[in-house]
């Protein structure tokens, strides 16, 4: 990006390192401005709001009315405690959240949710949010990896789901999602709707009923 700016501006004494540093500051401190339906509209730098640190279990949220940014408490905040917002989507598993924070903000979160990484509750939460569903459609159990059988086992009914079958459906779902996304961005809404319905069907076969992927597909379906 810094090189691109330098090429476009063509100022003789332009310092590329300084531009790169400014881009880095922006990436760590800026916020995405969203509309009331949380559709991103752009990026804004709000010096006061940039002071606020992150938690995956925040006590406040950042909301926008047009360009005006407001911090709203979402729980009782005892006097003297730190106001915290989430920089990322809180619905992800601990691994997904930690990865996103490391990549964009360069820190390892140690909030009350993140310190549970690897504990039973955390494994269960991840398996529900991002894992696969039980093969028995009347069972709402989540699957856990079983290395001995090279597959997954339902924590509730014990039924095994093979890797091969999962990979086959996952492949179909990926292909269909890509096609649907292209159709939507090209303005072919009727075709996109049809494709997203197929994606939803495949995801219902593959993922747990509370999976984030499934929720996102349904959100897109509503929008389309
Ligand atoms: C928007 S700034 C927040 C304010 C910053 N702490 C300061 O003093 O200016 C974002 C940066 O703060 C740090 N940060 C924010 N939340 C953090 C947390 N929960 N744990 C560790 N570092 C955090 C990270 O370096 C991140 O890139």
Three-state SS for 150-213 is CEEEECCCCCEEEHHHHHHHHHHHHHHHHHHHHHHHCCCHHHHHHHHHHHHHHHHHHECCCCHH
What CA–CA distance (Å, rounded) separates 153 from 149?
Answer: 9
CA of 29, closest atom in ligand 1: 1
Q: What's the domain count of the chain? A: 2
For residue 79, name the pLDDT band (cuts at 50, 70, 90).
very high
Is residue 73 exposed (0-12), middle (13-18) or buried (19+ Cβ within 10 Å)? Answer: exposed
Mean of per-residue pLDDT scores for the chain: 94
Do strands 160-162 and 151-154 pair parallel, antiparallel, or not at all (unpaired)? antiparallel
Pick the atom of ligand 1 nearest to 104's CA: 27
Q: What is the pLDDT of residue 128?
A: 93
Structure tokens at 175: 């292909």
Pair (30, 86) in one structural domain: yes
**pTM of this structure:** 0.84
Residue with the smallest CA separation from ligand 1 atom 5 is 51
Whole-number pLDDT of residue 50: 96
Q: What is the per-residue pLDDT across 203-224, written as a single tens digit (0 to 9) for each? A: 999 999 999 999 999 999 999 9
Clarify whether residues 145 and 195 are in a common domain: yes
Do 56 and 160 lie in a common domain? no
First to last CA, the chain: 33
Nearest CA to ligand 1 atom 14: 53
- Residue 57 Cβ < 6 Å to ligand 1: no
Q: Which of 86, 116, 146 is the last residue of a domain?
A: 116
- Structural domain span for residue 147: 120-223
Report the alpha-carbon angle 81-48-67, nearest 5: 120
* Ligand 1 and 59: CB distance under 6 A: no
What is the pLDDT confidence band of residue 37, given thresholds at 50, 70 and 90? confident
């Amino acid at each position: 990006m810094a090189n691109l700016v330098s090429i476009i501006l063509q100022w003789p004494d332009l310092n590329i390192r300084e531009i790169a540093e400014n881009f880095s500051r922006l990436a760590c401190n800026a916020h995405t401005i969203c509309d009331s339906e949380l559709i991103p509209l752009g990026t804004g730098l709000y010096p006061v709001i940039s002071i606020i640190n992150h938690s995956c279990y925040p006590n406040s949220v950042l909301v926008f009315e047009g360009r005006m940014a407001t911090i709203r408490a979402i729980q009782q905040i005892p006097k003297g405690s730190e106001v915290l917002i989430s920089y990322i989507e809180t619905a992800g598993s601990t691994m997904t959240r930690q990865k996103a924070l490391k990549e964009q903000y360069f820190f390892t979160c140690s909030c009350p949710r993140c310190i549970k990484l690897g504990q039973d509750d955390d494994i269960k939460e991840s398996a529900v949010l991002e894992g696969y569903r039980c093969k028995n459609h009347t069972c709402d159990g989540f699957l856990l990896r079983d290395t001995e059988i090279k597959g997954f086992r339902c924590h509730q009914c014990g039924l095994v789901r093979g890797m091969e079958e999962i990979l086959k459906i996952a492949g179909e779902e990926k292909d269909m999602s890509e096609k649907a996304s292209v159709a939507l961005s090209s303005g072919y809404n009727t075709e996109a709707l049809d494709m997203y319905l197929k994606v939803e069907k495949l995801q219902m076969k593959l993922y747990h009923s509370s999976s984030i992927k499934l929720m996102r597909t349904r959100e897109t379906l509503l929008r389309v």
